[in-house]
Structure 1
């Protein structure tokens, strides 16, 4: 009984805070993302174009579902891979760490018990889900505000250059009715290129997962296992961007902006909100045998000591030894 009392902590505010604050914020984020994605609440800015501009005259690649990286596949991987990695990592952590039971279980009322494993999983996956919808909002907001055209914009716009009075390629067309011959749905979608939303979501998922693996796990006896896994997870995000450009669905600038948007949001959430996945009870965990994969506490981003720093340390030791002698 004494051990049970020492390993429990009562908190009355954890459940109300979760229900009335965090769930409300999450619901508002989901609703805002839904309005950006499926509603016409925020009209897209209409940009003009130059007559016969070859930058926007690439052939129409077809619907998004015919892409080599269709949205269904991208969104499924974005949701599944980080979830599986985090669940596997947390379960592995609790299996290998012998002192995790020293962390107190939070008791709220007479019915709710939150052990360390449950709290960590909810925190990491909850923040990740929030970041997904936030990345969607940022990407959609950028597309709506800029109204940047895709490389195949003129192919779906089908402007009548004679009626528009195009005499030279340097003539700028700013009329909103220039695309009356095109399909309105395709034209509207072709005005949402910057930044690339699929690339932003892929980059967010990849960076979040890679930071989790880098900051939480440590591989004893190997220096290439963890970088190999991280690069393997980064490859799909990079390939999504390459496919978007190769199929004339986005420009390179759209893809790079998507990478920066998703990567910046993931880095902010991990460093500033999750504190690099830091947990108090992991500080005194025992070291695992050579070759075993375990979790280790991380307070700051990992750094590698350069040869210059090592040389400086050696010189300082030598100077101190000379002063003593």
Structure 2
């Protein structure tokens, strides 16, 4: 019965992930962003088009590989130190405890990543904010004498460019998915290492790694503004989405309270408790009285 429950748990986990991932795929294949208009004198969308410094594939691939490698390494060494959860049995086979713990953590991380990505991508399609390079990519021509354009806000127009994919992307500036995913990975990593990355060596090593990952996520967001892919407010909201999802998923889904028996800080030698409870200024007199 225990084996059956374990198998059903894995099946249900993949089913939930599929339910979250399918809307993402549907948006990419069939979604059309809202076709927002623009003001003639809007200088925020007049920047030239630039090739992006960090592609979507680079962010997604490096983020997942980094987190998976981190989780596997940490869980393996925790198991070697006797801090694992013990062996599991799957279809009659013995599954190392660190591997099962890694599977659960990676699954939760992936679930949170899918949720935050769906949140940011859905906003892109619903809001349809124009990227800073929209004019350069679209080269719009307003329809002459159109009643929709009479107030100076151009709604009725056609793009002279024939690059449909690039025009579609130019309508999805808000929020920044790069910033959202990179900050999600950074905050999740910081929390995970803080709770489970115990080492009696340098106290600054762990915090140095946490800072390096945070700065890497910060750079990803800054590069999006530098590359004319997003407005600064798009990146700001993307950072917030990623950070909020990382906190919620780590605290309420991964539930680090189950590791509460372990100290949340670096292991420090503790002094043995004192046998007396007398104040220090009274202790000498008490000794003399004996």
Superposition TM-score tier, normalisation by shorter sequence: 0.7 to 0.9
**1:88 maps to 2:58:** no
Equivalent position to 2:39, from 26, 50, 56: 50
Measured in 2, the distance between the counterparts of 1:15 and 1:277 equals 25
| CA separation of 1:94 and 1:17: change in aligned 2, threshold 3 A | closer
Equivalent position to 1:197, from 177, 189, 193: 177
Superposed displacement of residue 215, structure 1: 1.4
Contact 1:11 1:108 (8 Å CA) reproduced: yes
Measured in 2, the distance between the counterparts of 1:164 and 1:156 equals 24
Greater mean deviation of Cα atoms: 137-146 or 115-124: 115-124
**1:16 maps to 2:1:** no
1:311 paired residue number: none
The alignment partner of 1:151 has SS state of: coil
Contact 2:88 2:100 (8 Å CA) reproduced: no
Equivalent position to 1:151, from 132, 144, 149: 132
Aligned residue-pair number? 266
User: Per-residue displacement from partner, 1:14-59 (whole Å, max 9, x unpaired)?
Assistant: 212321x22211122222221122x12x331121110131111111
Structure 1 residues not aligned, in runs of 5+: 1-8, 284-295, 303-316
Superposed displacement of residue 165, structure 1: 7.4
User: Per-residue displacement from partner, 1:61-95 (whole Å, max 9, x unpaired)?
Assistant: 1xxxx422122322221111111111111111122
**1:217 maps to 2:206:** no
| CA separation of 1:277 and 1:208: change in aligned 2, threshold 3 A | farther
The alignment partner of 1:240 has SS state of: helix
Measured in 2, the distance between the counterparts of 1:204 and 1:23 equals 21
2:118 paired residue number: 137
| CA separation of 1:201 and 1:122: change in aligned 2, threshold 3 A | same
Give runs of ≥4 in structure 1 deviating > 6 Å. none
How big is the alpha-carbon RMSD for the aligned residues of Structure 1 and Structure 2? 2.8
Equivalent position to 1:59, from 42, 45, 48: 48
What are the equivalent positions in structure 2 for 1:1-325 lying under 5 Å apart? 10=2, 12-19=4-11, 21-37=12-28, 39-40=29-30, 42-61=31-50, 66-97=51-82, 100=84, 103-107=85-89, 111-160=92-141, 163=144, 171-175=152-156, 178-183=157-162, 184-220=164-200, 222-276=202-256, 278-279=258-259, 283=261, 296=262, 298=264
| CA separation of 1:174 and 1:112: change in aligned 2, threshold 3 A | same
Normalised by the length of structure 1, the TM-score is: 0.73
Normalised by the length of structure 2, the TM-score is: 0.82
Measured in 1, the distance between the counterparts of 2:172 and 2:100 equals 39
Structure 2 residues not aligned, in runs of 5+: 266-277, 283-290
Measured in 2, the distance between the counterparts of 1:23 and 1:160 equals 47
Measured in 2, the distance between the counterparts of 1:46 and 1:70 equals 24
Measured in 2, the distance between the counterparts of 1:84 and 1:150 equals 35
Measured in 1, the distance between the counterparts of 2:17 and 2:101 equals 18
Contact 1:45 1:146 (8 Å CA) reproduced: yes
